[in-house]
């Protein structure tokens, strides 16, 4: 049956209507039908775990509001079943609904280990509505845990959110995957939104910017595109490393957008997983723009920060984690907070849906297929230096020295490369481990070894052998 024209559908409320012999579904039936259809398509255990707890919070002709127990549940559901949900809704209703997700009102079963939620927590959670507006309301400064690893980046973002500044224009935040760059970037947007609703904010991933640019070109709407960006007061661009592989016309367009905003004293904040100099394939003129303001990095979190983040995430779901559980999770060896969140999601799902108390043994059991064990090795720059020195039969002091002997220079460069690869450290930090070398020396070394390894199988073997040493 083809989709029905809107004029007929607009008359639909809650009663089934028969127009031209077509039976139209009551809006409240949509979700029920969707569940029936989904039930036959996925294992029943998955259905019970992930679909039964969903409630319909509201529905109108264009949107369906669905309520889920917590954010972790939602993220899991979106990762695994969003396309199925969308397709099924369209199929059973013969029309497109946009889905609005709500979190919190569904009474999830709590364990005895869970602390009773304070009223403010409940309201805060209930009010967290995730929409498709681009900014995730969860990514606020209030929800961000400050540790010594992200302190500077956090302070710079707060400063910019409080007052746009020429000194910090652009603000360039860089750091490894899952360390909180997007969270901080969006927190700036949220804070500015809270303060005023007249400030025009644009949040884009670099990929989103490119897609919009390409789309505008194809539709011959470049003027609209330019006007939109150039009317912006605060431009937040996430993950510019995406442009490193070329994307020349996008870079050029962004360069002009950047200049127009900069000259008009509008604030620009950019994130990247690399320092500007290390963004291969980025146009020089854009790179130099990125270096005009303030560059801050986020370091991988230490144990203390990871534990604080885990506690915060759990508290946001009104759950108190036992200390041994927090410690176990933080010591799993991952510095990627998103990965830690994944573990927590799993545990919370098991606990609230399976009615299990969160204990250390329950957690180990839940995660047994996802993590090796808590002896997972963390590789430090120190360990890298020892492994490289022993492999080449030189001393760690040689690696840290200024000696220019080829027999020392090459191992030093390999050690810097491995420190970058295995320890998730920033270039300036690696420099300090090697007798306070400048970050540009580190960047040069890392790039050189990267190329060497790509071209030369013998060097590849050397690097692999040292990595084996590191993992022993």
> Residues 6 or more apart from 430 whose CB is under 8 A from it?
381, 416, 419, 420, 423, 439, 442
**Residue 341 contact, options ligand ADP, Mg ion, none, Cβ 5-8 Å cut-off depending on partner type:** ligand ADP
Site string (294-323) toward ligand ADP, x via CB under 6 A? ---------------x--x-----------
Among the listed ranges 65-73, 181-189, 409-417, 421-429, the one in contact with Mg ion (CB under 5 A) is 181-189
Tell how strand 98-103 and strand 63-68 pair up: parallel
> Residues 6 or more apart from 141 whose CB is under 8 A from it?
154, 157, 158, 161, 187, 190, 191
Which residue do the tokens 């011959």 mark? Answer: 220
**Burial label, 96 (beta-carbon count in 10 A; 0-12, 13-18, 19+):** exposed
Residues 434-463 that bind ligand ADP (CB under 6 A): none
Among the listed ranges 33-41, 176-184, 283-291, 407-415, the one in contact with ligand ADP (CB under 6 A) is 176-184
**Any contact of residue 326 with ligand ADP (CB under 6 A)?**
no
Nearer to Mg ion, 181 or 306 (CB): 181
CB of 173 to Mg ion, least distance (A): 10
CB nearest ligand ADP: which residue?
180
Nearer to ligand ADP, 178 or 431 (CB): 178
The one among 9, 66, 73, 183 contacting ligand ADP by CB under 6 A:
183
CB of 45 to Mg ion, least distance (A): 33
What is the helix, strand, coil percentage profile of the chain, to 5? 55, 10, 35
**Any contact of residue 182 with ligand ADP (CB under 6 A)?**
yes
CB of 74 to Mg ion, least distance (A): 18
Residue 460 C-alpha from the chain's centroid: 31
CA distance 327 to 307: 7
CB-CB contact of 286 with 251 (8 Å): yes
Residues 113-172 that bind ligand ADP (CB under 6 A): 139, 143-145, 150
The one among 236, 325, 337, 349 contacting ligand ADP by CB under 6 A:
337
CB of 136 to ligand ADP, least distance (A): 8
CA distance 394 to 411: 9
**Any contact of residue 182 with Mg ion (CB under 5 A)?**
yes
Query: What's phi and psi for 258, nearest 5 deg?
Result: -55, -50
Nearer to Mg ion, 143 or 182 (CB): 182
SS3 call for 289: helix
| Burial letters 216-251, b for 16+ CB under 10 A, else e | beeeeeeeebbeebeebbbbbbbbbbbbbeebeebb
**Any contact of residue 136 with Mg ion (CB under 5 A)?**
no
Nearer to Mg ion, 182 or 190 (CB): 182
> Residues 6 or more apart from 33 whose CB is under 8 A from it?
25, 92, 93
**Residue 183 contact, options ligand ADP, Mg ion, none, Cβ 5-8 Å cut-off depending on partner type:** ligand ADP
Residue 395 has a CB neighbour count (10 Å cut-off) of 13
CB of 376 to ligand ADP, least distance (A): 19
Residues in contact with Mg ion by the rule CB under 5 A: 181-182
Residues in contact with ligand ADP by the rule CB under 6 A: 139, 143-145, 150, 175, 177-183, 309, 312, 337-338, 341
């Amino acid at each position: 049956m083809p989709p029905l024209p809107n004029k007929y559908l607009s008359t639909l409320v809650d009663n089934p209507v028969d127009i031209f012999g077509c039976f139209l579904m009551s809006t409240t039936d949509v979700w029920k039908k969707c569940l029936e259809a989904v039930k036959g398509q996925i294992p029943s255990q998955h259905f019970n775990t992930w679909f039964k707890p969903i409630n319909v919070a509201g529905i109108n002709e264009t949107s369906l509001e669905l309520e889920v127990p917590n954010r972790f549940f939602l993220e899991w559901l979106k990762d695994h079943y969003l396309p199925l949900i969308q397709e099924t809704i369209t199929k059973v209703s013969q029309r497109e609904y946009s889905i609005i997700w709500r979190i919190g009102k569904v009474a999830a079963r709590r364990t005895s280990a869970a602390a009773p939620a304070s009223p403010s927590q409940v309201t805060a959670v209930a009010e967290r509505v995730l929409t498709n507006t681009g900014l995730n309301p969860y990514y606020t400064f209030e929800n961000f845990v400050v540790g010594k690893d992200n302190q500077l980046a956090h302070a710079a973002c707060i400063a910019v959110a409080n007052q746009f500044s020429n000194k910090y224009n652009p603000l360039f935040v860089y750091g490894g995957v899952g360390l909180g760059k997007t969270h901080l970037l969006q927190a700036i947007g949220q804070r500015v939104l809270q303060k005023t609703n007249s400030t025009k904010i644009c949040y884009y991933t670099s990929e989103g910017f490119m897609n919009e640019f390409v789309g505008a070109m194809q539709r011959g709407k470049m003027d609209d595109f330019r006007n939109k960006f150039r009317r912006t007061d605060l431009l937040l661009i996430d993950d510019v490393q995406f442009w490193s592989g070329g994307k020349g016309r996008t870079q050029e367009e962004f360069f002009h957008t950047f200049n127009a905003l900069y000259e008009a004293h509008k604030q620009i904040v950019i994130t990247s997983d690399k320092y500007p100099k290390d963004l291969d394939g980025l146009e020089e003129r854009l790179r130099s723009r990125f270096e005009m303001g303030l560059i801050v990095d986020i370091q991988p979190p230490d144990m203390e920060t990871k534990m604080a983040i885990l506690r915060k995430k759990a508290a946001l779901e009104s759950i108190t984690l036992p200390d041994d559980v927090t410690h176990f999770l933080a010591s799993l060896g991952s510095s990627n907070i998103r990965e830690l969140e994944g573990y927590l999601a799993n545990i919370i799902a098991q606990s609230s849906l399976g009615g299990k108390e969160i204990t250390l043994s329950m957690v180990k059991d839940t995660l047994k297929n996802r993590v090796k064990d808590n002896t997972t090795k963390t590789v430090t720059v120190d360990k890298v230096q020892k492994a490289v020195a022993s492999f080449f039969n030189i001393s760690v002091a040689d690696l840290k020295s200024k000696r220019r002997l080829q027999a020392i220079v090459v191992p030093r460069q390999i050690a810097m490369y491995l420190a970058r690869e295995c320890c998730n450290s920033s270039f300036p930090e690696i420099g300090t481990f090697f007798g306070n070398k400048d970050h540009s020396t580190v960047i040069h070394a890392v790039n050189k070894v990267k190329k060497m390894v790509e071209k030369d199988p013998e060097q590849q073997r050397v690097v692999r052998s040292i990595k084996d040493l590191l993992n022993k």
